[in-house]
Amino acid sequence: MNDIVLDCKNISKSFKEADLEVDVLQRINLTICKGEQIAIIGSSGAGKSTLLHLLGGLETPTTGEVWVAGKQISNLNQAQRGLWRNLHLGFVYQFHHLLAEFTALENVCMPLLIRGLSVAEAQDKAVTILSQIGLEKRLKHKPGELSGGERQRTAVARALVTEPSCVLADEPTGNLDQHTAEQVYERILELNNVIGTSLILVTHAPNLAKRMDRTLTLVDGRLVNS
C-alpha cells in the first residue's frame, strides 16, 4: 500500500458563533493509502462528520491542505472540487439520499452519467454492481418500494460504481437494525476488497472498527491512535 490516495496536512476548522470562534478540529494530519481501511470513532459532537466533509471537499478547512489523488482540493473552487470528487471519491451517509423519483438502477447510474459515460455504459456498470450487492431483482424499484436495507445497499452501490480511489462512509447503517446493518457492512467491505478502493468509516460500532486496518479516535479536535 505505497500509493497515497488521500492526505491531509495540518488541517483545522473553526466556526463563528455570535462573537465567539469555536475550534472544532485542530492541526489534523492523516494519510490514507490505496486499499487501506480506516475507522474514525469519537463521542457525539466531536467533529467526525466535519472531518469527513473536509476530507471529501464538501467543506474547506480554515487552515491546512487536503490532497486527493495527488491534487490539493482545498484550494479548488466548488465546481472543480465537484469534478474531482466524482472522479476519485464515493460517499455513503446515514441517510441514503437516493432520488425518490428514480429507480435503483437510475440512482446508481447517476454518477457515471455525470462523468460522461453513455446511458448504455452506465447501465451496464450499474447492473453489475447492483447484482454483486444482491439487488438484481430490484433494479426497477424506486426507493419508496425498497426496504431500509435495500435503500442503503443501493446507496453503497452508487458510491462504489465509479470505482473511486476512496469511499467516505458516515455512520452508513445508523438507521438500520443490527442484522440488516451487518449485511450492509459486509457488502461494503466485500466490494471494498474487490475494487481495491480505500475506506474511511465514521462509526459508533466498536465491533466494526476492530475489523479495519486502523482505528483513530477524535478527541478534543485532534486525531489519536486507538
Position of cell 495527488? 70
**CATH architecture label of 4-225:** 3-Layer(aba) Sandwich (3.40)
Which residues are 2's β-sheet partners?
A: none
Tens digit of pLDDT for each residue in 122-131? Answer: 999 999 989 8
Residue 205 has pLDDT above 80, yes or no: no
Share of the chain above pLDDT 70, in %: 94
CA distances from 105 to 40, 51, 140 (A): 31, 31, 6
> Which residues 6+ apart lie within 8 Å of 20 measured at CB?
none
The predicted model scores a pTM of 0.83
Tens digit of pLDDT for each residue in 215-226? Answer: 999 888 888 876
Domain edges within the chain: 4-225
Number of Cα atoms under 13 Å in the Cβ half of residue 6: 26
Residue 31 has pLDDT above 70, yes or no: yes
Whole-number Å distance between alpha carbons of 132 and 138: 12
> Which residues 6+ apart lie within 8 Å of 116 measured at CB?
none
Tens digit of pLDDT for each residue in 148-195? Answer: 888 888 988 898 888 888 989 888 766 667 777 777 777 777 767 777
Long-range contacts of 70-78 (CB under 8 A, 24+ apart): 70/4, 74/11
